[in-house]
Structures are given as structure tokens and as C-alpha cells.
Chains A and B, each alone.
Chain A
Amino acid sequence: MTALSTVDRPAGDDTIAARGPVRRLSSWLHRHRGARLAGLLSAPLLWLLVAYLGSLAVLFVSALWTVNSFTGDLVRQPTFANFRTILTEEVYRTVTLRSLGVAAAVTVIDVLIALPMAFFMAKVASPRSRRLLVIAILTPLWASYLVKAYAWRVMLANDGPVDWLFGGAGNGPGYGLLATVLVLSYLWLPYMILPIYAGLERLPDSLLEASADLGARGGRTVRSVVLPMIVPSVIAGSIFTFSLSLGDYITVQIVGGKTQLIGNLVYANIGAANNLPFSAALATIPVLIMVGYLVAVRRSGALEEL
């Protein structure tokens, strides 16, 4: 980014070096607007194309390969066998639906918790405690994901703290699907609170007052004024919670008992079975689901809230 630094150089800096090639380049760039733009954008665009879209393309291409079942070597012969297996075997349908269910449940739970929380932060709390609350919500994000997940494994263990809450060993949810939803909801909650909080902060207090002046009670104000205005924020938050839950495989391994989600199948096929092509084929499922989801929410204006 030599171009940038030269442009930023103070005008009075008349050193000998500045009169040299750097200054000449700078004035050339000043005259050629197109070259300037290309110089600025080519690096990030290249990154986007190669690292991001490129890896997606490799994913799709390798999904068409297969693996020699004995030696584990790649067989680079395009075939739809992997996709056929995924579509015909019932287990992959079950796991996909289960993953969707978990992602949806986590999103709903997070919305239900985040709405009152964010409303309190944005509209009720004093400016001082508001700042403290934002810090309190951000703090868990500083701790490692694994530490939090393993902490939940201990809490949910047989005769652990969660069991005590329910009155004795074995009464709590234990490890399983419920525990997975619980822990994922905990992990992704900040990603839901923050966009909703930002949306509510932009909501003028005068609207709430006007609603009250016109005789609306609290519930009516929330339904008719607050909710319609923050729907885009909720959807923005849901993109985070939904996509993060859909791809998760670590939490479910730690507290999920014998539960399998799409992420586990992808991981098992890479880490254990060494079947990279099949993993790639499986990994296209969440990609397709997320593309569908994003297309559906595009119109709501939620993407501008991100």
C-alpha cells in the first residue's frame, strides 16, 4: 500500500526521497483515477476471490470425488455418488432435520431472552449501568469457547450443580440434545442481544411516549411500536445464532451425549474416516440452508443491520 502512505504524506515534507520515484508515482496515481482504485481494491478483492470463493469452489469440486476405501487415497473421478448417498440414506435426512431443529430452538430461546434484556439495557437502565451491562454481556466472549463448553459438561454431569437444581442426581437433563440446545443458547446469546440492543437504541423515546399518550398499555406498545421496528435487528441476530448453531460440532461432542449433528458427520468423515469428498458433500447442506435463509431475509432489510 505504498500509494496510501504517499498520499498521506504531509505537503510540506520536501525531502530528497520524496522528489524521487515515490513522488512521481503519487502524482501519476493522482492523474489516473482508475489505476488508483485498482491499486486500492485489488488486494481485498483477490482475497475474496481466492481465499473465500475459491475455497467454496474447491469444496464443491471435491464433493464430486471419492476415496479408495482401503488405502484412503483420493479417486479424482467426478461422480454424484456422495450426493446420492446423502439423499437416499435416511440417517442424513434425520441428522439434517435435527440440526435445523437445534438451530431453530437456539434462535428462538435467544430471542426470548434477548428481547427483554436488550429493552432493559436500551430504555430502562441509567446510562452508567447501561455501559456496565454491555460490558457484562461482552465479557463471556473473552473466555475460550472450549472452557465454557467444558464448564457446562461439569455442571451437567451426573450429580452436578444442574442436577441439584432439579433435586438430586439424575433429575437434570444430563448429556443429550437438550443439553446441546441449552449450552448453544448460552454461547450465542451475546450475538443476539447486541444487534437488538443497537436496534432499540435507535428507537426514539418519543414514539413510546406517543404510544402511551394515545392510551396504549405496555403490552400494546411493545406489539405495535417496538416489535415492528426491531424485526430487522432480531433477524440480524438470528443469522448469527442460526448459522453458528448449524455448523457447531464441538459443543455437541462435549455435552451432546450420543447426539449427532451435521457438523459431527463432517468432522467424523474428515478426522476419522478420512473421506474428505464425502465431508465436502455433507458440508454443502448447511451452505445451501444458509443461502436459502439469507435470500429469505434479504428483503426484511436485516442485512443492513449487520
Chain B
Amino acid sequence: MRTTRVFTAVAAAGLLALTGCGDGGGATGGSGPGGIKPPKIDKLASLGAGEGQVNIVAWAGYVENGSTDPKVDWVTGFEKETGCKVNVKVAGTSDEMVTLMKTGDYDVVSASGDASLRLIYGGEVAPVNTDLVANYKDVFDGLKLKQWNSVDGVAYGIPHGRGANVLMYRTDKVTPAPTSWSAVFDPNSPYKGKVTAYDSPIYLADAALYLMKHQPELGIKNPYALDDKQFAAAVDLLKKQNELIGEYWSDYTKEVQAFKSGNSVVGTAWQVIVNLAKADGAPVEAVLPSEGATGWSDTWMISAKAKHPNCGYLWMNHIIDPAANGAVAEWFGEAPANKLACDKTADKNHCTTFHAADEAYFDQVWFWSTPVEQCLDGRTDVKCKDYAAWTQAWTTIKG
């Protein structure tokens, strides 16, 4: 079996070399970057009975069954009600999510904007029949059919919620409390060796956002659309930041432990990490710095090769159910997608605190998206650095 596959692969390689055609070129006239079109995949026409289980790739804190905190549980009820057993795989970065979805072993994924389009154009996810998701009608209009969750008016997912990456710090070690990202970028930072940063190429956008506010002469309009000069400036800033870094994190448990022991005292984090660190007894707080922040707007997507599509749809409907969506939004520290969820949160001010309906606020938050050659800010006279360049630069930055 294995030999055959290897042989086929080698033969295919030879054949492609002969014909001189690859996957890279291809059709033009599509709406995607470089004019590519998403592969034609049919959406589910009608909902059948559950298959007994569903395999989910999610961010930490999105699928909680009470094992982290007995009070935090929106999975057990779903399992009882639908008979779909939930198997969850927590991913640390968007790249990891794309890789996991490519295996075809998972039915549903909570994709951020820097993964969703890659999944759509890669043919990994299917369009979603929103008529089969009863709670979809209560989703904020500001989240429906957006550039990161739809193509040409076809919905590819169910919005989950949105939020900003915050600056977490140890209240006993970092005084005065930071109000700007310069706490992690200033070369003269007193916290040298105790700064942490997110270990993913997408973190380049955080540097670009900082430059956007502090070096306006670079003319950065969108931190995900960087031409050669702007890109070089961002890489340079991160290389200087590398001197300050104690360790990079992508595993949230490692960050919680590092802040608890004091190995890290300041750095970028998610609200859920702040909550976990606090629950663990670490004296930490978090702020949204004055420059604004990068953030995420996540989408539940269903795999094109889903083995349990019905349970997948049931899950997508459940996670934006007012009660569940409110619970996950509170636990993770983000704005829910469902309008009605705001009435269900334990903290009645949650939606106000996280600006759930405040579109003006989210205009200041730069949602993760995939950098491509065609500049996302609309410039046509220059070429922007694509994600492959970001990935290679990230290795160089870490040295």
C-alpha cells in the first residue's frame, strides 16, 4: 500500500515536471487573491440524525466540558441533548488549525481570519447552509457575510465572536501599569528578558500596528498589507524586540506557568489566559493599549470531508445559542456573535465591556487576516509581502 502510494507520488511528480503545470497557476477571474476561485463544494441540503460524535478543532477555551472549571460547561448539555459526543483538539495557532483540517479527521473548526480564507480556497471547508442553523438569524449583522467568512455572498461559516489581543502584565513587577505596546517594543524596557510574545508569523502585524502609530512616515494603513519597506521596518523592530524576549509562547498553559513563576512579566495575551492565570493565583492584569490591538473574529466552519456533518451543524447551532455563546464569550473574554447572548451573560455589562455591538470600536481592532501579494489596503502600485514571506521572516527574527 505504502509503496504504491510512494510510487504514485514519484510518478505524479515526474508527470507534473514533464507537463510543466502545477497547482499554483490555474484559473483566472475568481475573486480570491491572484484571481483564484474556491473549489465547488456543495453545502448540506438538509439536516439528518446525529452521527453520535463530532471532532472539533478549536482555540483553547472554546469547547469547555467542565474539566477546566466545573462551572464552565456548555458541552455536557449539548452531548445529552443531541447524543453527539464532542471530541476536541485544541490548536495554538491558525497555522496549526489549517494543518489539522488538512488531515480530514475533523468535522468543525473555529477558524480566525488568517485561517478561514486559506481553508476556503484550499477546499478544506464547505459552504454552510445557514437555513439549517436556527440561531444564525440572531447574529449581529456586522459579522455576517464578511470578507473573512464568505466568498461572493456565499457563507462559509457561522460567526462565533470577536475580541482583541490584550497586553498582560504582572501587577507586582510592572509599575506603573503599561498603557502602550512600547512596554514590549521599547529597546530600553526595564523588563528585558521577561517579555513574552506570541509565537506565530501573524505577530508581525502587532509590530506593524505599533509602527503605524509611532512611525507614521512609513505610511502603514493596514498591518496585514506591508510593502517591502514597511515589512523590513516591522522585521527590524521584532529583531530588536528579540533581545527583550524571555520566551515566545503558543501553548497557553506555558504562558500561564511563565507568568505565575515570574519568568514572563509582560506580553501579549488573550483574555482567557489572563483569567486562567488569575484563577491560578498569579497577580496579573490586562489592558487594551492606546495603539489599539490586533484581534480576531472567529468563524465556525465545517470540513468538506466531514464524517459527522449533522453533529457538526448541531454543534454550530449550539455554540451560537444565546446561553452557550454568552458563556463562551465570558470565559474567553470576547464579544459574542449572538445579540441575544448579551442578556444571558452572568456579568450584565459583559457586552458593553467587550463592545459587542460597537462597530466603531472594532474599526480600531485589526482582525487577523492572511497577508497576500495583492495589498489588502487597496494599493495596486506595490506588491505586498505574502504569508510565506511572513513565515520565513519569523524564523529569521527568532534567530
Minimum CB distance partner of B393 in chain A:
A91
Q: Which residue of B3, B16, B388 has the most chain A CB atoms within 10 A of its CB atom? A: B388
Q: Which of A61, A74, A265 contacts B10 (CB 8 A)?
A: A61
Question: Are B261 and A159 in touch, CB under 8 angstroms?
Answer: yes
Question: Are A258 and B245 in touch, CB under 8 angstroms?
Answer: yes
Contact digits for B15-39, partner A, Cβ 8 Å, 1 yes 0 no: 0110010111000000011101000
Q: Which of A54, A65, A260 contacts B399 (CB 8 A)?
A: A260
B361 to chain A, nearest CB (A): 30
Q: Which residues of B have CB within 8 Å of A75?
A: 22-24
Q: Is A140 an interface residue (CB 8 A)?
A: no
Q: Which residues of A have CB within 8 Å of B261?
A: 157-160
Question: Are A271 and B96 in touch, CB under 8 angstroms?
Answer: yes
CA distance A257 to B99 in the complex (A): 25
Question: Are A91 and B22 in touch, CB under 8 angstroms?
Answer: no
CA distance A225 to B248 in the complex (A): 50
Q: Which residues of A have CB within 8 Å of B93?
A: 272
Question: Are A159 and B262 in touch, CB under 8 angstroms?
Answer: yes
User: Which residues of B in the span 250-292 have a Cβ within 8 Å of any Cβ on A?
Assistant: 250, 257, 261-263
Q: Is B2 an interface residue (CB 8 A)?
A: yes
Q: Is A206 an interface residue (CB 8 A)?
A: no
Question: Are B121 and A258 in touch, CB under 8 angstroms?
Answer: no
Q: Which residue of A72, A75, A256 has the most chain B CB atoms within 10 A of its CB atom? A: A72
Count contacts on B: residues with CB < 8 A to the other chain. Answer: 52
Q: Which residues of A have CB within 8 Å of B122?
A: 71-73
Question: Are A50 and B3 in touch, CB under 8 angstroms?
Answer: yes
CA distance A175 to B33 in the complex (A): 42
Count contacts on A: residues with CB < 8 A to the other chain. Answer: 46
User: Which residues of A in the span 146-160 have a Cβ within 8 Å of any Cβ on B?
Assistant: 153, 157-160
Q: Which of B12, B121, B242, B250 contacts A76 (CB 8 A)?
A: B12
Q: Is B191 an interface residue (CB 8 A)?
A: no
Known contacts: A61-B10, A65-B13. The answer to whether A74 contacts B370 by CB under 8 A is no
Q: Which of B13, B23, B95, B263 contacts A158 (CB 8 A)?
A: B263
Question: Are B17 and A77 in touch, CB under 8 angstroms?
Answer: yes
Minimum CB distance partner of A94 in chain B:
B399
CA distance A207 to B68 in the complex (A): 64
Q: Which residues of A have CB within 8 Å of B396?
A: 89-91
User: Which residues of A in the span 246-282 have a Cβ within 8 Å of any Cβ on B?
Assistant: 256-258, 260, 265, 268, 270-275
Q: Is A142 an interface residue (CB 8 A)?
A: no
Known contacts: A54-B2, A70-B33, A258-B398. The answer to whether A274 contacts B99 by CB under 8 A is yes
CA distance A77 to B12 in the complex (A): 9
CA distance A109 to B54 in the complex (A): 50
CA distance A68 to B93 in the complex (A): 19
Q: Which residues of B have CB within 8 Å of A70?
A: 32-34, 36, 117-118, 121, 370, 372, 386-387
How would you classify the secondary structure of chain B's contact residues: helix, strand, loop or mixed?
A: helix
Q: Is B102 an interface residue (CB 8 A)?
A: yes
Minimum CB distance partner of A67 in chain B:
B388
Question: Are B13 and A78 in touch, CB under 8 angstroms?
Answer: yes
Question: Are A72 and B98 in touch, CB under 8 angstroms?
Answer: yes
Minimum CB distance partner of A54 in chain B:
B6
Q: Is A295 an interface residue (CB 8 A)?
A: no
Contact digits for B91-131, partner A, Cβ 8 Å, 1 yes 0 no: 00101101100100000000000000110011100000000
Q: Is A58 an interface residue (CB 8 A)?
A: yes
CA distance A258 to B12 in the complex (A): 40
Q: Is B227 an interface residue (CB 8 A)?
A: no
Q: Which residues of B have CB within 8 Å of A265?
A: 395
Q: Which of B16, B98, B263, B395 contacts A274 (CB 8 A)?
A: B98
CA distance A57 to B9 in the complex (A): 12
Q: Which residues of B have CB within 8 Å of A159?
A: 261-262
Q: Is B187 an interface residue (CB 8 A)?
A: no
Q: Which residues of A have CB within 8 Å of B388?
A: 67, 69
Minimum CB distance partner of B396 in chain A:
A91
Question: Are A273 and B12 in touch, CB under 8 angstroms?
Answer: no
Minimum CB distance partner of B14 in chain A:
A78
B235 to chain A, nearest CB (A): 12
Known contacts: A76-B12, A271-B96. The answer to whether A258 contacts B247 by CB under 8 A is yes
CA distance A159 to B387 in the complex (A): 39
Question: Are A260 and B395 in touch, CB under 8 angstroms?
Answer: yes
User: Which residues of B in the span 349-399 have a Cβ within 8 Å of any Cβ on A?
Assistant: 370, 372, 386-388, 391-392, 395-396, 398-399
Q: Is A174 an interface residue (CB 8 A)?
A: yes
Question: Are B23 and A257 in touch, CB under 8 angstroms?
Answer: no
Q: Is A134 an interface residue (CB 8 A)?
A: no
Q: Which residues of B have CB within 8 Å of A160?
A: 261
CA distance A268 to B247 in the complex (A): 15
Q: Is B246 an interface residue (CB 8 A)?
A: yes
B21 to chain A, nearest CB (A): 8
Q: Which residues of A have CB within 8 Å of B6?
A: 54, 57-58
Q: Which residues of A have CB within 8 Å of B200?
A: 272
A256 to chain B, nearest CB (A): 8
A-B contact pairs, 11 of them (CB 8 A): A61-B9, A61-B10, A70-B118, A70-B121, A70-B372, A71-B122, A75-B22, A75-B24, A76-B9, A78-B17, A272-B93
Query: Which positions in B face A, CB cutoff 8 Å?
Result: 2-3, 6, 9-10, 12-13, 16-17, 20, 22-24, 32-34, 36, 93, 95-96, 98-99, 102, 117-118, 121-123, 193, 200-201, 242, 245-248, 250, 257, 261-263, 370, 372, 386-388, 391-392, 395-396, 398-399
Known: A70-B387, A273-B391. 7 other contacts (CB 8 A): A61-B10, A70-B372, A72-B122, A76-B13, A95-B399, A158-B262, A271-B96
Query: Which positions in A face B, CB cutoff 8 Å?
Result: 50-51, 54, 57-58, 61, 64-65, 67-78, 85, 89-91, 94-95, 153, 157-160, 169, 174-175, 256-258, 260, 265, 268, 270-275
